[in-house]
Amino acid sequence: MQILKYFWALISFISILSNPVLADRLKDLTSLAGVRSNQLVGYGVVVGLAGTGDGNTGITLQSMQSLVSRFGVTSEVEGLNGDNSAAVMITADLPPFTKPGQAIDVTVSTIGGAESLKGGTLLMAPLLGADGETYAIAQGNIVVGGLGVTGADNSSLTVNIPTVGRIPRGASVERTVPTEFLNTDFVILNLHRGDFSTANNVAEVINNNFGADTAIPLDTNSIRVRAPNDPAQKVAFVSVLENLEVERGAPPAKIIVNSRTGTLVISGNVKVTPAAVSHGTLSVRVNEDQIADGGDAIAIGDGAEANAAAAPVPDTQITVEEDVAKAFLFDAGVSLSDLVDAINAVGATPSDLVAILEALREAGALNAELIVI
């Protein structure tokens, strides 16, 4: 009951926080269209592993043969040993406006049977964009936060994930991703969460600060804003723009239920129309016992008798118990706090609350969207 008490206290606290309308900076509500990171991916080979590599895996040996052939060394696949090498995939995010020569972090992950990348070095590998062009070159020593150990009897101990590592500033950018940010006389702000009220509020705040018709809401997600053509002035304009404070529109009434964990999140705008609820639980217990039977008498000669081996006979007992159901009444326009207090008064658990909310929705008494994940 103590845990349940804290659970309802948390819901009540969330409802209190969700009621006031708070202002947020535009940089926390929106992003600039066209100003985004780009994903890069590449394939490479890690060497220098202490016997924790892929072993004699075909793809690893072929990659090693291809690498050494670049330096004029001719070797057959059969003559190579991949215990100290591993084939890996390399991923990275290329931030917007990154220039050639700048460094970015990369993540290295095994794709073969390597047990650990600890102590390994990634050899030079190109990182490609979605268009197939090379945007960065990765190479360097891998930092691994995990640990994996295997004994002679095949017993093993693994801490975290030793097959994934990072190389801080491990890739050098070779090409810049083009953007239209500096080539237009406007910028478009995209809301992280589309909402008509929020889009209208954003346009009003911008127009109040920079003049009428500076910003025009295009839809629930986008607001078009006139901006200077000069790059320096545009950067200064956006720096002021993104720090304007805007009141978000009230979110729609929603109840989010995680049926696997019993977690519930209820927004502050949930209302309940008049309804009466009675909820009880039914418990069924099944006990299985084995009773030894005396067995049949068997003649063994000279008039003597003996009992055969007793065969176990199942004895099943089924008990049904039903808790006394408690009822409570919701009046018109009941708010979240009233809903929580009423259900808490009858001692309902989170699983009971899920059943009650689903029943209210089916009855048409719940003025909110119920989402079960």
Nearest to 179 by CA among 101, 96, 237: 96
pLDDT of residue 18: 44
pLDDT at 46 over 70: yes
* Alpha carbon distances (Å) from 122 to 137, 228, 313: 11, 45, 67
Q: What is this structure's pTM? A: 0.69
CA angle 213, 218, 224 (to 5 degrees): 50
3-state secondary structure (DSSP) of residue 79: helix
Q: Cβ(89)–Cβ(75) under 8 Å?
A: no
pLDDT tens for 116-125 read 999 999 999 9
Nearest to 256 by CA among 347, 354, 338: 354
Instruction: Please report, in angstroms and rounded to a whole number, the separation of the first and last CA atoms in the chain.
Output: 26
pLDDT tens for 202-236 read 999 999 999 999 999 999 999 999 999 888 899 99
pLDDT at 83 over 70: yes
Rounded Cα distance between 9 and 289, Å, is 44
Nearest to 266 by CA among 179, 334, 189: 334
Average pLDDT over residues 329-338: 63
Q: Which helix (H) or strand (E) holds 226?
A: strand 222-226
pLDDT of residue 7: 41
pLDDT at 155 over 60: yes
Q: Which helix (H) or strand (E) holds 283?
A: strand 282-292
Write down the domain spans for the chain.
Answer: 38-173, 180-247, 254-281+323-372
pLDDT tens for 137-148 read 999 999 998 666
Average pLDDT over residues 79-99: 91
Rounded Cα distance between 204 and 212, Å, is 9
Average pLDDT over residues 109-115: 91
Rounded Cα distance between 217 and 225, Å, is 9
- Average model confidence (pLDDT) for the chain? 79
Which CATH fold topology does 180-247 show?
Gyrase A; domain 2 (3.30.1360)
Q: In 10 A of CB 103, how many CB atoms?
A: 15
Tokens of 279: 């909820």
Q: Which helix (H) or strand (E) holds 28?
A: helix 26-29
Q: Cβ(239)–Cβ(255) under 8 Å?
A: no
Rounded Cα distance between 168 and 334, Å, is 54
Among 2-11, 17-26, 80-89, 101-110, whose mean pLDDT is lowest?
2-11
Q: Cβ(123)–Cβ(45) under 8 Å?
A: yes
The more confident residue out of 17 and 116 is 116
Quick one: what percent of the chain has pLDDT higher than 90? 38
Rounded Cα distance between 136 and 126, Å, is 6
